[in-house]
Structure 1
Amino acid sequence: MKKSFIYLGISAFVFIFSQVYEHFSHGVYSGFMIYAFLIPFIGLFVPSILNRFILKREIPDMAKLSLKCGIATLTVGSIYKGVLEIYGTSTNFEIIYLTVGLVLCILAGILMTIKTNIKAEG
């Protein structure tokens, strides 16, 4: 349960950070910045609550690590894209954050599936 509150705190921190950043952006807003807090909220907090109270399954450590890294990459990429939109520019690095984050999240799903199948067979 402690980790769920940590994930909620991370989401709150990202929300507060984006609101403060947008407050000082002279009326320029970015959806990537405004909604960046939803990535750790939906990607970490909601699954941890569901697993704790409904699913109650053991998740392999490598899958947890991959998921956390993927969510962190997507969150930072969203904030980065938001900063660039507020500044009024763009780069080619935005797609790298998206690609790496999605690959890590997909890898986490694969690792969870593999571990579940091995346990079911054994």
Structure 2
Amino acid sequence: MSTSVTNPIKQRLKKTILWYTLISAFFFVGSRIYEHFSFGETSAFMHYLFLIPLIGGSLLVALQLVVKGLSRITLNLWNSALATATAGALYRGIVNLSGRSTTLDQPYYYVAGIFLALALISIFFVRSVWVEKTKLST
């Protein structure tokens, strides 16, 4: 058997930073391309779509730095909240760029709010087993 010398908390933090940066960049470029071919129609939802994963990912990174041993369920709920809010904004942006209006995106934000509330509640009740080891002897 071999033991790993990598720190899983730092690996998770690096992975979070990488993925949210890539997702934000993808939505930034994708929304600009989509708006370019929209025949002059604009949508604030599409234009600022990249901010949802960018801000949400930044808050998650800050949360991971403050709360050591953040649980997997908290991360899953947080990611679900951001994915749902992003999907709602993307849906609204596509509908607005097609020249119509809709309010059918509101349930996305309600569900995202519920996921976010559950993620924040789970911080206080569930901890990960990956907690950094403290100095055992002085």
Same fold, judged at TM 0.5 (above):
yes
Q: Does 1:49 align with 2:49?
A: no
1:85 maps to what in 2?
Answer: 96
| Structure 2, gaps ≥5 residues long | 1-13, 128-138
Report the Cα distance in structure 2 between the residues aligned to 1:69 and 1:51, rounded to whole angstroms.
Answer: 16
1:96 maps to what in 2?
Answer: 107
1:67 maps to what in 2?
Answer: 78
Report the Cα distance in structure 1 between the residues aligned to 2:42 and 2:103, rounded to whole angstroms.
Answer: 21
Deviation at 1:26, TM superposition (A): 1.2
Q: Deviations over 1:25-61 (max 9, x none)?
A: 11111110011101011112x1343245x42511111
Q: Secondary structure at the match of 1:81?
A: helix
- Alignment TM-score, normalising by the size of structure 2: 0.75
- Alignment TM-score, normalising by the size of structure 1: 0.84
Report the Cα distance in structure 2 between the residues aligned to 1:99 and 1:56, rounded to whole angstroms.
Answer: 26
Distance change (3 Å), C-alpha of 1:24 and 1:92: same
Deviation at 1:115, TM superposition (A): 2.9
One-letter amino acid matched to 1:85:
N
| Structure 1, gaps ≥5 residues long | 117-122
Distance change (3 Å), C-alpha of 1:49 and 1:61: closer
1:120 maps to what in 2?
Answer: none
Which protein shows a greater Rg? 2
Greater fraction helix: 1
